[in-house]
Every structure is written in C-alpha cells, then in structure tokens.
C-alpha cells in the first residue's frame, strides 16, 4: 500500500483577472496559504502558464516549478480538459464549444480539432519536461447526443462513433507513451467516456493502450447513480488521478437524474463542497489506499451554494483529515507464534 499525496487543488475554478488569482506567483502563494501542498494547472490559462514554452523548454518548466516550490506547493499535474473536449465535437455543439479554442480556429471544426490535438500533445511534452507522470483531460464526444435515443439509434452508430474517437486519440496516446505520461480521462457526463462501460469500449478500440487511464471523480458517479466504490475495485489498475469532489442526488416526484433543465441550485443532482454532499470519502480513501493508489488527492471545488474561497480552505483540511498513512504491520502480529513448513503440515495433519 502507498500513501496518497495531498492535499492539492485544481486551479481552473479559481484563476481570474483579479489578484491573487491572476498570476502564477500569486495564486500559488494563495493556495499554500489555504493549506495546500500541490496544485493542478489548467494548461489553457495564459495567466498561469505559457504552454508553448513549457512544451519546448525544460528551463522554463524548471523555473515554473521553482516559483511554486518557493511558495510552498508542488505542481501535481497539467490539465487539458478544454482542449481535450475539442478533439471530438459533435456538430450540435460546435457553437457552444467554439469558445474553448484559439480565436484563429473558431468556426472551422477541422482546424479546431487539429489545434486541440496539438495542444494536448504540447501539454504531454510539458508534463515530461516537468517530470510529471500523469495528465488530466476530457475525451470529447461524438455520440453524446444519442445517449438516450428517440427515435432508436441506427445500427452501428455508436460503434462508428467510438471507432472514430479512438482513431483521433491513438496518435495522442502514442505521444504520451513517448513522453512517459499517462492520459487520465475524467469520466464525466457530456463526454463519450462517461462511465465504466464506455471507457471499456474506448479502451478496447485503442488496443488496451497502456497510457489510456482514468481520472476518478466520485461526484460524477453519484449523479449517475453509479456505484463509485465498486468502480475502484473494477478499475484500480487504470486509476491514475483523483479529483476529490462531493455531490448529492435528491430525487423527487418532479425531477430525477436529468433535473428538468433547472439551475444548479434547483437540480436534484448537484455538486457540493467537500463534506456537504453524499460521497463516503472515508470509504473512497480507504479503497484507493488499499489498491495502492499513490497519486495526488486533488480538490476540484464546484458548489452551487458555498463561496469558492471558503470551499477551498475547508477542502484542504478535509483532504488532510482523510489521507490514510498505511500500516506497515498487521494488527495481530503480537500473537504470531512463528512456524515453518514442517509446522504448517503438522497443524494440518499432513504427514
């Protein structure tokens, strides 16, 4: 067993134009002051990181990590959630997702996809330059509009979608192999990889690629009514990253999983700050520790009610209180009478 590292904080929900959230130096000082020892970096945010430089220059990466270290935190992983989303976009979402891309490729789906692939590859190269072995991303989606179909899906539609999705990601995964970095897909509604079955469909089409791994976030499973503890047992050998995020699902006679197009506050299923939702994190940390997960416990703050800075500070303490230091001895070692093969055979009555 290994001890989970942390607490760390995903900075995507906090980066902004106002101090201390508008520069790498200031936001890392703020994170350390909140009680964090690590930060996960949104690679698309130019206020925090120059991704092109990070991909090309180890010197830039050393300086980048050095600033963080001076301020008391470690760079845990880079994220390409927004760029990864653009690797595969169904035409129905072209307008909605266009804002994720660089201005020069907006309105051009082909150029946008090429840009997205290049961005993810750059982030993997940057991860290598920083000595980081795991990377967070989204898979994108071609089949999501047909997740609950009416009329019925044409035969072969989903198979074709996943064939194409895997074909788009395979060169990226091969680049990840060259970099020695795991690609950790956040299993998330809105992505074609939104549960275990869809992850397996994708994994099979990549030839069970060694770098096609998972980012485990139990909040997304609570909102799907999926067993998030059994998920660890099934996929522990592929889970390489962990977002610590809480959620609650309170169905009524008026709404359920789909929540009737309501705002986050009024949904039956909604994200909450750590400790305010329904995830059994003591069980989650126990299972991950027993499974040998030695990555970072990264708080991803999303809550429809609590102020983000309060959620961040509370989250650091919450994770610290849940990290388990694994035992190096068995609790009943005091009663060990000592034996050998001959003694074992005698105890069993074997001559």
Q: What is the CATH number of the domain that holds 207?
A: 3.20.20.150
Q: What percent of the chain has pLDDT over 70?
A: 99
Question: Taking phi first (over 0 means left), then psi (-120 to 50 degrees means alpha), and beta for anything else, what does residue 156 get?
Answer: left
Supply the pLDDT for residue 106.
Answer: 98
Close Cβ partners of 285 (under 8 Å, ≥ 6 residues apart): 4, 297, 322, 323, 324
Supply the pLDDT for residue 329.
Answer: 75
User: Each residue of 83-131: pLDDT tens digit?
Assistant: 999 999 999 999 999 999 999 999 999 999 999 999 999 999 999 999 9
Mean pLDDT value across residues 329-348: 78
pLDDT greater than 80 at residue 40: yes
At residue 343 the predicted structure's pLDDT band, cuts being 50, 70 and 90, is: confident
pLDDT greater than 70 at residue 331: no
Are 81 and 186 contacting, i.e. CB atoms less than 8 angstroms apart?
A: yes
Domain that holds residue 242: 5-347
User: Each residue of 168-204: pLDDT tens digit?
Assistant: 999 999 999 999 999 999 999 999 999 999 999 999 9
Average pLDDT, the chain: 96
User: From start to end of the chain, where are the E strands?
Assistant: 5-10, 38-42, 74-80, 134-137, 182-186, 212-216, 239-244, 246-249, 269-272, 296-299
pLDDT greater than 80 at residue 335: no
Are 135 and 184 contacting, i.e. CB atoms less than 8 angstroms apart?
A: yes
pLDDT greater than 80 at residue 273: yes
Question: Considering its fold, how many domains does the chain have in total?
Answer: 1
Residue 59 corresponds to which tokens in the numbers above?
């010197």
Mean pLDDT value across residues 270-291: 98
Close Cβ partners of 128 (under 8 Å, ≥ 6 residues apart): 179, 180, 181
User: Each residue of 3-31: pLDDT tens digit?
Assistant: 999 999 999 999 999 999 999 999 999 99
Supply the pLDDT for residue 334.
Answer: 66
Close Cβ partners of 158 (under 8 Å, ≥ 6 residues apart): 143, 146, 201
């Amino acid at each position: 067993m290994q001890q989970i590292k942390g607490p760390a904080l995903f900075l995507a929900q906090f980066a902004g134009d106002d101090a201390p959230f508008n520069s790498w130096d200031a936001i890392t000082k703020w994170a350390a002051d909140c009680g964090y020892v690590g930060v996960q970096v949104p690679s698309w945010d130019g206020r925090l990181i120059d991704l092109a430089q990070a991909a090309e220059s180890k010197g830039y990466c050393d300086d980048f990590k050095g600033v963080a270290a001076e301020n008391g935190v470690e760079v845990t992983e880079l994220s390409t959630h927004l760029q990864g989303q653009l690797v595969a976009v169904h035409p129905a979402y072209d307008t909605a997702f266009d804002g994720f891309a660089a201005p020069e490729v907006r309105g051009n789906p082909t150029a946008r996809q090429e840009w997205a692939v290049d961005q993810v590859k750059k982030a993997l190269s940057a991860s290598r330059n920083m000595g980081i072995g795991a990377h967070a991303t989204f898979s994108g989606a071609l089949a999501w509009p047909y997740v609950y179909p009416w009329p019925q899906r044409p035969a072969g539609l989903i198979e074709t979608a996943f064939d194409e999705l895997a074909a788009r990601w395979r060169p990226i995964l091969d680049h990840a192999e060259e970099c020695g970095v795991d690609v950790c897909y956040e299993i998330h509604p809105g992505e074609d990889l939104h549960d275990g079955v869809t992850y397996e469909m994708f994994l099979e089409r990549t030839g069970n690629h060694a770098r096609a791994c998972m980012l485990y976030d139990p909040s997304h499973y609570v909102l799907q009514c999926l067993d998030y503890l059994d998920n660890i047992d099934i996929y522990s050998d592929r889970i390489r990253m962990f977002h610590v995020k809480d959620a609650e699902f309170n169905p009524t006679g008026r709404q359920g999983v789909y929540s009737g197009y309501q705002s986050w506050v009024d949904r039956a299923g909604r994200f909450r700050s750590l400790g305010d939702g329904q995830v059994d994190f003591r069980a989650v940390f126990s299972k991950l520790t027993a499974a040998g997960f030695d990555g970072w416990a990264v708080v991803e703050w999303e809550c429809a009610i609590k102020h983000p800075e309060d959620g961040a500070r509370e989250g650091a303490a919450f994770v610290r209180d849940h990290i388990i230091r694994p035992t190096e001895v068995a609790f009943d070692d005091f009663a060990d009478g000592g034996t050998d093969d001959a003694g074992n055979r005698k105890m069993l009555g074997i001559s």
